Amino acid sequence: MLVTNKEILLSAMRQSYAVGAFNISNLETFQAIVEAAKEEHSPLIIAVTPSTIKYAGLNNIVSLVMTTAKQMPLPVSLHLDHGKDVETIKMCIKAGFTSVMIDGSHLKFEENIALTKKVVELAQEKGISVEAELGRLAGIEETTVEEREAFLTDPEAAREFVDRTEVDALAVAIGTSHGAYKFKGEPKLDFERLKAIKEKLGIPLVLHGASSVPQDIIEKANRYGAKLKGARGVPEEHIRKAISLGISKINIDTDLRLAFTATVRETLAISPEIFDPRKILSPARQAMKEVVKAKMRLFGSSHKA
Ligand code: G3H
Ligand code: 13P
Ligand code: ZN
């Protein structure tokens, strides 16, 4: 059944587990995460970015998700990831999304508040939940205390932000970043900051840029011609710790892209005679499903639906 992120995340927060928000980019990603959720009996957040809307078409995405989600016995949410403006938010709410993220993290504090408040007003009217972001996603290796203070989420500012905007969930910056190159040296997150933020806020917290960039997948991709030297993600023990300190939603995109790419490369290399797209993409879809199932177990959302 189709529900809001708020519904999914409040249960997660109360029971101290996290739910993955998995970015879809094509039919196979969508099928992989749906099948994984069914097999793991996990609630599911389907995350769609503006660039995926541009790539796949809003109506195609909404029709696909609605048809599937309405028949599923599990709670499923259709979530706009990194919405940047009110027009996109309005378009997604009208199309049937159950949750939207307004990402004003690049704006000044007051501007972020003003934009977020506007979105909350629009969304509350329709019973749609809203996620906002405060702080900038960036690694914290080789940074000074001053630099960290300038871009990581400040706990007191987060409290004021949430009080004034009434958002349902907040994405926090504690040292993660998007993509496959998150750390040059030892992976490092600011857990003390996360703890302090959690103490001040009563709403679910979100971790973006949380892919682990599994080294076996990187090696496989590189073996078949990829150039992904130095790719590195957030270790699983850091994810476990982040959940124990109060993270309730975990965004994953890169690990799906890597599993897809590594497996497509392998399939084409070992079966050069095939040219049916379904034969090329089935193993990649299976590999992504395995990644998602493992995440659901790691996050503790398996058997919570
Ligand atoms: O933060 C979300 C994604 O990893 C970036 O997605 O390439 O679809 O904009 P995009
Ligand atoms: P990754 O790049 O670590 O998968 O993060 C994805 C994300 O935050 C999507 O919003
Ligand atoms: Zn993100």
- Contacts of residue 271, defined as CB under 8 A and 6 or more positions apart, other chains included, come to 279
DSSP summary character for residue 121 = H
Mean pLDDT by 10 residues, the chain (305 residues): 97 98 98 98 98 98 95 96 98 98 98 98 97 91 82 97 98 97 94 98 98 98 98 98 98 98 98 98 98 98 96
Our measurement of the distance from residue 36's CA atom to the centroid of its chain's CA atoms, rounded to an integer in Å, reads 16
Q: For ligand 1, is residue 82 a contact (CB within 6 Å)?
A: yes
Question: Hey, whose CA ends up nearest to atom 5 of ligand 2?
Answer: 209
Beta bridge partners of 206: 171, 249
Beta bridge partners of 130: 100
Q: Which pair of tokens denotes residue 133?
A: 């972001």
CA of 192 to the centre of ligand 2 (A): 22
Q: What is the pLDDT of residue 148?
A: 83
C-alpha–C-alpha distance, residues 3 and 298, integer Å: 23
Q: Give the residues surrounding ligand 2 with Cβ less than 6 Å away.
A: 23, 81-82, 178-179, 208-211, 251-255
Question: Hey, whose CA ends up nearest to atom 3 of ligand 1?
Answer: 253
CA of 241 to the centre of ligand 2 (A): 18
Q: For ligand 1, is residue 112 a contact (CB within 6 Å)?
A: no
Q: What is the pLDDT of residue 143?
A: 81
Ligand 2 pocket mutation, candidates 211, 256, 288, criterion most atoms within 8 A of CB: 211
Determine whether 81 is an active site residue.
yes
- The closest alpha carbon to 215, from 184, 180, 252, belongs to 180
* pTM flag (> 0.75): yes
Task: Answer positive or negative: Cα dihedral of 187, 193, 199, 201.
Answer: negative
Q: What is the pLDDT of residue 22?
A: 99
Q: Is 129 exposed, middle or buried (0-12, 13-18, 19+ CB in 10 A)?
A: buried
Q: What is the pLDDT of residue 259?
A: 98
C-alpha–C-alpha distance, residues 139 and 118, integer Å: 30
CATH number of 5-219+233-257+291-299: 3.20.20.70
Q: What is the pLDDT of residue 139?
A: 81
